Structure 1
Amino acid sequence: MKADLVVLQGSVITMDPSYPKVEGIAVKGEKILALGKNEEISNLIGPETKVLNAYGNTVLPGFIDCHVHFMQTGIDMQKVDLTNCKSLLQLKTIIDEQTDKASPGQWIMGTGYDEFSFAEKRLPTREELDESSPNKPVWLSRVDHHSCVVNSSAEKILNIPRDIEGIEKDPATGNTTGNLKGDANSYARQKINKLFDKKTRYNAAKKAAELMLSKGITTIHALEGGSLFYDDDVDILLDLKEELPIHVSLFYQTTDVKKVLDRGLKRIGGCLLIDGSLGSRTAALMESYTDAPGGKGILYFDDKELEEFVTEAHRKGLQITFHAIGDRGIEQVLKTYEKVLKKYPRPDHRHRIEHFCLTAPSQIERCVKAGIILSVQPAWVNYESTLGGMWASRLGNDRAKRISPLSSMVLSGAVICGGSDSPITPAGPLSGIHGGVNHFQKDESLSRKIMTSFFTTNAAYAGFEEKIKGRLAPGYLADIVILGADLFSVPDSGIADIPVATTIVQGGIKFSLNN
């Protein structure tokens, strides 16, 4: 039997103990046919075989990103990117330019600002946005998506109820500042998302798929719907699923178990919010925020409501996952899992907690005992300036040191999978691997091999797909990424900069850097 495609001259890291490192891969149809030395694989080349040369670079199983807001990633690609904005003056200049280009009544939308990156170290206000755009509506999303800011035109159009939680007001005047968080932020986002029609959303999904492939991602765990996003995206993605060039495992962010079962889905939750974010001071903490005494964040569920939902979803056989960032948020969902699992034991449930940021050793140990998978975003270590930065400002340095203790989690025996949280953090497993290797606390850093497992073997397990994905072995899906360098020899500081040369999904070349 001759192969349809072969990869030669590679430093092939299979993530399979039976084939720890080989030089070549042969693919037949959608699956891996063989692995071995260059000479062995060359024997499988026929007249129709496509031959790829890896030039000695690292070849890995296709990356699995376990935490992607896929539809929102595509939608946000159509907004003004504010991630590199370094001051309120620069922000004003950007809004001025967009206002000049916009037609009457056209929305000006931007995403990704972070006040900790601004020279002024504060949020923009409604009045400042009004100066740039007095007549056209402006809506800007903070990088974490847990808060936003609007100008007066947008505030009027959105018609946000005055009694809703999360509307910031100037303590001196009582006037709204334009900054929204919590329920007010969710309300505004729902209305903003409805401005993008179905055709736009279909195109957004295709653009997002192209982005994922360029990062070596062959499977995504797509966390869709819910309060921060748009419920119709679930059905749009189900319609598109077979057309997309990547694998999609869909998590519906709802508490309506019937909706999930009616769609034939096996997973529920994702960024189903237990709490908020540290940047917006909505993550639920045991102790007050250092820079906001008395403030301990938000819990979006009461205990009874949460237990009833988890019980129903668990007993229906669904895999459940929640967003929990603060230690109080983690405690609430962990206690609920423990209580339900004790009452209704179910082997191999693989329930998860997303983010799992500010934690304690006892919580990690309890997750291991309960079989809870920890779905983390290690690139956050790169994108958040921790000690002396935002986390330290919010928590103080001592608590900030408890953020994402990756090595401690691994040593405890926890199963950890990796994700990006795109579009909040840019998609790219290599950035995640970089973050774990270069952890801001050296004793919490991990090896490149262990970090790679977060996005391959462990990620496949977290999606109940460990028998077909996550490693390179005969009979497994031919999901393969060829890097443009050797992952295991570049300096630690250069991991995130390694390019992806080729991405193969089910035996088909879906991305090539040279094309």
Structure 2
Amino acid sequence: MTMSRALWWIAGLLSLFGGCRDAVGDEVADLILHHGKVVTVDRDFSVRQALAVKGGRLLRVGDDDDVLKLQGPGTVLVDLGGRMVLPGLIDSHTHPTDASMTEFDHPIPEMETIGDVLDYIRARAVALGPDKWVVVRQVFITRLKERRYPTREELDRVAPANPVLFATGPDASLNSAALKLSGIDKDFRPEGPGKVEIDPATGAPTGILRNLTRYVKATPSERAPSELDRDKRLVELFADYNSVGITAVIDRDADAQAVERYGRLHEAGALSIRMGVSHGVTNLGPIDEILAEIRRVAAHPLRRGGPMLRIVGVKLYLDGGMLTGSAFMREPWGVSKIYSIDDPTYKGVLFIPRERLVPMVRAAVESGLQFTAHSVGDGAVHALLDAYEEVDKQTPVGPTRPCITHSNFMSREAIEKASRLGVAVDVQPAWLYLDTPTLSAHFGNDRLRFFQPLRSLFAAGVVVGGGSDHMQKIGSLRSINPYNPFLGMWVAVSRRAKGYEGRLHPEEALTREQAIRLYTINNAKLLFLEDKIGSLEAGKRADFTVIDRDLLACPEAEIRATRVLSTYLDGKRIFDRSE
């Protein structure tokens, strides 16, 4: 053997032995959870006994004997005692900055009847004093026992010295003082879509406005929060997300201030939630300015953000809502006392015509952004899918994972087109839970055949993610809408609703495995992070939660009662129920 070859051989051996020594060192876990039921949510939905973590990542997932071999002197051992472990849960649709501030000034009680609403308004009027605005937002009439707005006369009676606004998005009910201050009388004529309801006997406004809340001149009556207050409340909300196993969310309409706040918290090490952002973009104004705004979002540094904070795309509003009777439908809504619809040809409201929608979608796709739009009615869903199809003729839309937000009313054709184009769907089971009684009373069972058709979407290979549309309050079950993912899973599996007998089209119920995927790997795909989170596989981030029951075997009714015992992000425990 020549000297040069001998040196090469010795160097190779040293390298090999050094590599082996390093590999052995690397194979010592920081943390091991064992003697449990670890639901991996991998391709085969494997269920293992243990997992090992090192450096914030999953080192190994497998049987107890195999994983416990990675124990070293400093390894922290957690005996699960048979408990189940799930990947960190993900919510595909939240509004954290607004939701966290809802009760900053004072607690807001749950309101289920007109009486509850009036009692709250009376109490606020007393607390604020005369002439101050009393404002109630997002207490939807479809969720009130009476299924109607409080009347002007009722509002006048409980708050005679205060202007009152009871708003549900673009629709509202006002008392006499609020109408006067807003300049809304029998001669008022709005610009653009909208309607002032008129009393046929007197010709005066009834107080109910349709798609006209923008004209109400309400001024804040509550104390103003500081930036520190906003940060603290947001951190408090994220901690509550963690308490129900949530380790990642998507803000589905973040403005520039929200993005800046998330960035500041991230830099301070105060984020306990992975944040994906759908940056809000207006649909109003010159189309060139809207397209320029979409491209500015694409150029934002957080488009290249890491797994803790990143912008994934843009969000617009395509139609109205089913809670206010303004979602855009393919067929007329029908005359309705609940929704105050007296036009038998009325189909709802579509905010973006095709000639504007297509270039918006094209700008997002060409910029590599995920485009999504609030699309509740089947008319809006079809309009958005048609726009995706038009853009796809020149530029494939699939790689950007275009999305339909809400997509409550669908059709078999819409499901097939979404599958073919690679369009994802962002659905909120809590809406089925809370709104089925009113929807059923109005539309009837047959027309709800493709309301949240979850099983059909899964069968067609559509990536469908589960979310909450959390808008107000901290508290997973008291919030509007509830963000407890186990409630969402139960609804998806049972198709049962509050105050509704039976199951709404049980043929669209998910299996338990599918319901878990709905809040894990599927949402990871909506975040473009399925290679890092969403399942428990070696090499992925160590995000997981330990729960108090076996979701795959417990009685169906108990799914919604599941309690989280601990939650981990990057292998660090961020929630522990024993603390």
More divergent stretch after superposition (474-483 vs 114-123): 114-123
Between the aligned partners of 1:317 and 1:370, the Cα distance in structure 2 is: 16
Q: Is the counterpart of residue 513 in structure 1 residue 550 in structure 2?
A: no
Q: For the structure 1 residues 398 and 308, does the alpha-carbon distance in structure 2 shift closer, same or farther, using more than 3 Å as the test?
A: same
2:92 to 46, 51, 66: 66
* Structure 2: gaps (5+ residues): 1-26, 282-289, 304-310, 472-479, 496-503
Q: Is the counterpart of residue 209 in structure 1 residue 238 in structure 2?
A: yes
Between the aligned partners of 1:194 and 1:362, the Cα distance in structure 2 is: 50
Structure 2 counterparts to residues 497-512 of structure 1, below 5 A:
497-512=561-576
Which amino acid is 1:73 matched to?
A
- Give the match's secondary structure for 1:379: helix
CA displacement at 1:130 relative to structure 2 = 3.0
Between the aligned partners of 1:189 and 1:53, the Cα distance in structure 2 is: 59
2:489 aligned residue: 433
Which amino acid is 2:553 matched to?
S
Normalised TM-score (structure 2) = 0.80
2:346 aligned residue: 295
CA displacement at 1:5 relative to structure 2 = 2.3
Q: How big is each residue's C-alpha offset from its partner over 1:339-389, in whole Å with a ceiling of 9 and x where there is no partner?
A: 0111223552211111111111011101111110111112322222x2xx2
Asked if 2 retains the 8 angstrom alpha-carbon contact of 1:307 and 1:340, the reply is yes
Which amino acid is 1:491 matched to?
P
CA displacement at 1:18 relative to structure 2 = 6.7
Which amino acid is 1:219 matched to?
A
Structure 2 counterparts to residues 407-486 of structure 1, below 5 A:
407-423=455-471, 424-439=480-495, 440-486=504-550
- Give the match's secondary structure for 1:422: coil
More divergent stretch after superposition (249-258 vs 78-87): 78-87
Q: Is the counterpart of residue 222 in structure 1 residue 273 in structure 2?
A: no
- Give the match's secondary structure for 2:233: helix
Q: For the structure 1 residues 116 and 308, does the alpha-carbon distance in structure 2 shift closer, same or farther, using more than 3 Å as the test?
A: closer
1:305 aligned residue: 356
Q: Is the counterpart of residue 250 in structure 1 residue 277 in structure 2?
A: yes
Asked if 2 retains the 8 angstrom alpha-carbon contact of 1:260 and 1:267, the reply is no
CA displacement at 1:152 relative to structure 2 = 4.8
1:57 to 45, 63, 83: 83
CA displacement at 1:294 relative to structure 2 = 2.5
Q: For the structure 1 residues 194 and 93, does the alpha-carbon distance in structure 2 shift closer, same or farther, using more than 3 Å as the test?
A: closer
Between the aligned partners of 2:433 and 2:141, the Cα distance in structure 1 is: 17
- Give the match's secondary structure for 1:66: strand
1:276 aligned residue: 320
Structure 2 counterparts to residues 101-120 of structure 1, below 5 A:
101-102=127-128, 107-120=133-146
Q: How big is each residue's C-alpha offset from its partner over 1:282-341, in whole Å with a ceiling of 9 and x where there is no partner?
A: 100111113232221100101111112111121112111111111111111111110011
Between the aligned partners of 1:50 and 1:152, the Cα distance in structure 2 is: 65
More divergent stretch after superposition (396-405 vs 58-67): 396-405
2:160 aligned residue: 134
Q: Is the counterpart of residue 358 in structure 1 residue 409 in structure 2?
A: yes
1:169 to 193, 197, 217: 197
Q: For the structure 1 residues 44 and 174, does the alpha-carbon distance in structure 2 shift closer, same or farther, using more than 3 Å as the test?
A: farther
Q: For the structure 1 residues 154 and 446, does the alpha-carbon distance in structure 2 shift closer, same or farther, using more than 3 Å as the test?
A: same
Between the aligned partners of 1:342 and 1:171, the Cα distance in structure 2 is: 51
Asked if 2 retains the 8 angstrom alpha-carbon contact of 1:30 and 1:477, the reply is yes
Q: For the structure 1 residues 514 and 328, does the alpha-carbon distance in structure 2 shift closer, same or farther, using more than 3 Å as the test?
A: same
Q: How big is each residue's C-alpha offset from its partner over 1:467-486, in whole Å with a ceiling of 9 and x where there is no partner?
A: 10110011100110111211
Asked if 1 retains the 8 angstrom alpha-carbon contact of 2:133 and 2:218, the reply is no
Which amino acid is 1:503 matched to?
T
1:260 to 273, 297, 302: 297
Which protein shows a greater Rg? 2
Asked if 1 retains the 8 angstrom alpha-carbon contact of 2:278 and 2:313, the reply is yes
- Give the match's secondary structure for 2:399: coil
Q: How big is each residue's C-alpha offset from its partner over 1:442-497, in whole Å with a ceiling of 9 and x where there is no partner?
A: 21111010111111111111221111011001110011011121111221122111
2:62 aligned residue: 36
- Give the match's secondary structure for 2:537: coil
Asked if 2 retains the 8 angstrom alpha-carbon contact of 1:139 and 1:154, the reply is yes
Q: How big is each residue's C-alpha offset from its partner over 1:188-210, in whole Å with a ceiling of 9 and x where there is no partner?
A: 69976996654443233222212
CA displacement at 1:121 relative to structure 2 = 2.8
- Give the match's secondary structure for 1:35: strand
More divergent stretch after superposition (129-138 vs 427-436): 129-138
Which amino acid is 1:267 matched to?
V
Between the aligned partners of 2:559 and 2:451, the Cα distance in structure 1 is: 22
Between the aligned partners of 1:156 and 1:49, the Cα distance in structure 2 is: 69
Between the aligned partners of 1:396 and 1:19, the Cα distance in structure 2 is: 37
Between the aligned partners of 1:287 and 1:461, the Cα distance in structure 2 is: 33
Asked if 2 retains the 8 angstrom alpha-carbon contact of 1:83 and 1:111, the reply is no
- Give the match's secondary structure for 1:417: strand
Q: For the structure 1 residues 428 and 147, does the alpha-carbon distance in structure 2 shift closer, same or farther, using more than 3 Å as the test?
A: farther
CA displacement at 1:400 relative to structure 2 = 1.9
Asked if 2 retains the 8 angstrom alpha-carbon contact of 1:169 and 1:177, the reply is yes
Q: How many residues align?
A: 504
Which amino acid is 1:115 matched to?
I
- Give the match's secondary structure for 2:91: strand
Asked if 2 retains the 8 angstrom alpha-carbon contact of 1:320 and 1:351, the reply is yes
Asked if 2 retains the 8 angstrom alpha-carbon contact of 1:378 and 1:436, the reply is yes
Q: Is the counterpart of residue 330 in structure 1 residue 358 in structure 2?
A: no
2:433 to 352, 360, 382: 382
**What is the aligned-residue RMSD (CA, Å)?**
2.8
Q: How big is each residue's C-alpha offset from its partner over 1:68-106, in whole Å with a ceiling of 9 and x where there is no partner?
A: 112122122437777842321222112222333335666
Q: For the structure 1 residues 122 and 346, does the alpha-carbon distance in structure 2 shift closer, same or farther, using more than 3 Å as the test?
A: closer
* Structure 1: gaps (5+ residues): none
Structure 2 counterparts to residues 72-83 of structure 1, below 5 A:
72-78=98-104
CA displacement at 1:281 relative to structure 2 = 0.8
Which amino acid is 1:3 matched to?
A
Between the aligned partners of 2:430 and 2:443, the Cα distance in structure 1 is: 19
Which amino acid is 2:261 matched to?
I
Q: Is the counterpart of residue 27 in structure 1 residue 71 in structure 2?
A: no
Asked if 2 retains the 8 angstrom alpha-carbon contact of 1:82 and 1:112, the reply is no
2:260 aligned residue: 235
Normalised TM-score (structure 1) = 0.89
Q: For the structure 1 residues 58 and 140, does the alpha-carbon distance in structure 2 shift closer, same or farther, using more than 3 Å as the test?
A: farther
